[in-house]
Structure 1
Amino acid sequence: MNVLTYNVCAAGNSAGTCVRDLTPERRKTWAGQVSALIRSRNVDVASFTEMCYAQVGLLKRALPGYRLVWYGYAKGGGPGREDRCRTLWSDLTPDTVPPDGKTFGIALALKNGIEGPPPLRRLLRADHAPSTPGETIHPRGLLCATGRVGPRRSVCCVTHISDTETPRQIVDLVSAYAGDAPVILTGDFNREPGHNQLTDVYGMGLGQGGYTEVDAEPCGVARRGGEHTTRGGRKIDYIFASEADYRPGGAEVVRTDPELSDHLALTGTLIGTEPRPRRDGGPWRGSYPASERRRRGRRR
């Protein structure tokens, strides 16, 4: 099963690191480039963060047959700033604003459509203090939808969190929604692989969570790592999957030409495992060092 995740930086950002990529000429190529990348790699599930609602319609036209699922939780540009989702994309489509006015958010594209329960759209709570006192806390969200990925039905999720939302919150919400179903969890976690909070996500003997990461097993040696996914040289975008149901098949970071974001697209392959009893955690459960578990327990 092939998966892609891409932070598209569609409204620009306060740091100005991707505004240069949103020229009229480059935006005209956006849907064509992204759809060609998805088709050429036969992607089963694609996820997008920092996306504008206007791009959903553009991508729908470029990807007939895929089901697009959208969750908008903010207005592009942030509190007190112009809605760049409207101003930047209105020259390509008149359909820039959804009925609820939330033009900025996250999205999924599923090749085989959705089935089962209604999608989960959840605005996250700030459950961790910001790194800088008085820092503005921006809305963050989680979107999940159930669809057939390869031969099995899986819950496919995308999230975008900052330092004020913990990965633990995401894991708990996904678990409550998915139950015993296989899970593919993607998005921008704004944390590099060695961050201690990702211990709640990683399984594979690399943490206390239940997820494998698509590029965490080169040459059969499990690790936290992978190529950087931002122009600044950080790995903060991930493709995780429940380790009881999938094992990693390799990943690749892909540059578009011209560049369309200050992030790079992350693509990867997941290989389905034989069905096993749920909650046994897959082949690596129990191998995370007991000493680390004790240290974490003392901090609590």
Structure 2
Amino acid sequence: MTRARRRLRYLIAAFGALALTAQLGINSPEAEASTDLRFWHFNMCGNVCWQPDAPHNYLPGTDSRGEVTVRAAQIVESVGNYSPDIVTLNEACYSQYRGIRAALVAQGYHATYASSGTGGQCDDYDASEGNGFGMALFSKQPIAAPRETHNLGTAANPNLLLCADTALGSRPVKACSVHLTAASAEQRAFQATNLAALASGWHATKPVVLMGDFNAEPLDPVMAKFYSHSGGEGIFHEADESDADYSASWPAGAVRGRSGEITFSSEATSPPTLKKIDYIFLSGADFRAVEGDSLYGGERRISDHRVYRGGAAWQ
């Protein structure tokens, strides 16, 4: 039996033994997109969010290595239930990525990963391999090689962008896993400017999909670089821009705006921090009928972020 098959069998066994489905919210009433194209994003929080005896610790009394495996199993199940065309992950430990990759490749996905550091955010096994905290991108269609990365920051303050030339059905697209810095607004604005410029250049020849944690809320000035409406100067629709439950900030009479469901929650503050900082941006000239769905896993969730899914149709 190959290593990939052994890993897949282990993950499948973990699903039944731990009854994980509900914790990522994948049984929510909005579980199915009504559009042809599907997108799935999650900031995993590596194994940083794991703490002994915390409510979200699925294996009380164990070390973080076991918890890494559990997170991988949950993600594979959630992706399998939704069947997205493109999947992106932020803050993924390399050991987590290996397990997820083995299972999703067995389901027909193609994968690429870029490490953004070693140790610290992941366990010693990751660090010893020279791989650590990073990001991943999966596609139902082949991913062009070699792996494509861009530094959105500077030499002193790098910020990695992972992209791939792939396709949605038969149409080529440029897809990227984005994670802008939380370190400072100045660095984030610099990175966002570079990202928007790259996206504009790519869009001269193909549709563009940007998915990830931008570490800024929709009405933050830096996000104007991406939205094509509501005061924005960018080229994108955002998956959850038409959710009427979050319309308080929309322009008068508008049917969409810079808003959407909560994608990040933390009880580290009082009151808890609740905000949207994860996005699925789709080039507006190419996509229509966008929709988004943020899934809350309840008290026993596995990250301070929520799974964020989107749908769209071709123009």
TM-score, normalising length: structure 2: 0.71
- What is the alpha-carbon distance in structure 2 between the residues aligned to residue 10 and residue 67 of structure 1? 21
Query: In structure 1, what is the equivalent of residue 222 of structure 2?
Result: 197
Secondary structure of the residue aligned to 2:97 is: helix
Structure 1 residues 81-130: Cα deviation after superposition (integer angstroms, max 9, x where no partner):
xxx4233xx4xxxxx3697x242211101112214x64421223159xxx
1:74 aligned counterpart, secondary structure: coil
1:264 aligns with 2:283: no
The SS at the match of 1:233 is: strand
Counterpart Cα distance in 1 of 2:290 and 2:38: 9
Instruction: Specify the alignment match of 2:42 in structure 1.
Output: 6
Q: Give me the whole-angstrom Cα distance separating, in 2, the residues matched to 1:25 and 1:114.
A: 30
Aligned residue identity for 1:44: D
2:141 paired with 1:112: yes
Determine the C-alpha separation between the residues in 2 that align with 1:265 and 1:85: 20
Q: How many angstroms apart in 2 are the aligned matches of 1:153 and 1:11?
A: 34
Q: 2:208 aligns with which of 161, 177, 183?
A: 183
Q: Which residue of 2 aligns with 1:73?
A: 116
Q: 1:43 aligns with which of 84, 89, 96?
A: 84
Q: 1:262 to 1:254 in 2, by over 3 A?
A: same
Task: Give the structure 2 partner of residue 142 of structure 1.
Answer: 161
1:85 corresponds to 2:122? yes
Q: 1:209 to 1:112 in 2, by over 3 A?
A: same
Choose which of 263, 283, 298 in structure 2 pairs with 1:229. 263
Check the 8 A contact 2:286/2:314 in 1, yes or no: yes
Give distance in 1, aligned partners of 2:101 and 2:196. Answer: 29
1:174 is displaced (CA, Å) by: 3.1
Residues in 1 aligned to 2:69 and 2:132: alpha-carbon distance in whole angstroms: 19
Partner Cα separation in structure 2 for residue 98 and residue 223 of structure 1: 46
**Counterpart AA for 2:259:** G
2:239–2:290: 8 Å Cα contact kept in structure 1? yes
On the 8 A contact 2:118/2:131 being kept in 1, the answer is: yes
Alignment partner of 2:75: what SS?
A: helix
How many pairs does the alignment contain? Answer: 245
Aligned to 1:93: none
2:230–2:258: 8 Å Cα contact kept in structure 1? no
- 1:195-236 deviation line (CA, Å, top 9, x unaligned): 111111100354111000011123681111111111131100
Equivalent runs, 1:274-285 vs 2, <5 Å: none
Which amino acid is 1:141 matched to?
Answer: L
Q: Deviations over 1:229-265 (max 9, x none)?
A: 1113110000001101012431111234741111101
Cross-structure match for 1:282: none
Report the counterpart of residue 165 of structure 1 in structure 2.
188
> Is contact 1:119-1:145 (8 Å) kept?
yes
* Change over 3 Å in CA distance of 1:203–1:9 after alignment to 2: same
Say if 1:46 and 1:53 are closer, same or farther in 2 by CA, change over 3 A: same
Q: TM-score, normalised by structure 1?
A: 0.74
Report whether the alignment pairs 1:34 with 2:89.
no
When residues 7 and 245 of structure 1 are mapped into structure 2, their CA distance, relative to the original with a 3 A threshold, is: same
Deviates more, 1:231-240 or 1:241-250: 241-250
Give 1:103's aligned residue.
132
In structure 2, distance between residues paired with 1:212 and 1:121: 24
Q: Please give the alpha-carbon distance, in whole angstroms, between the structure 1 residues aligned to 2:188 and 2:222.
A: 10
Q: Which residue of 1 aligns with 2:8?
A: none
Identity of aligned residues (%): 28
- Name the aligned partner's letter for residue 260 of structure 1: I
RMSD between aligned alpha carbons?
Answer: 2.5
Deviation at 1:39, TM superposition (A): 1.4
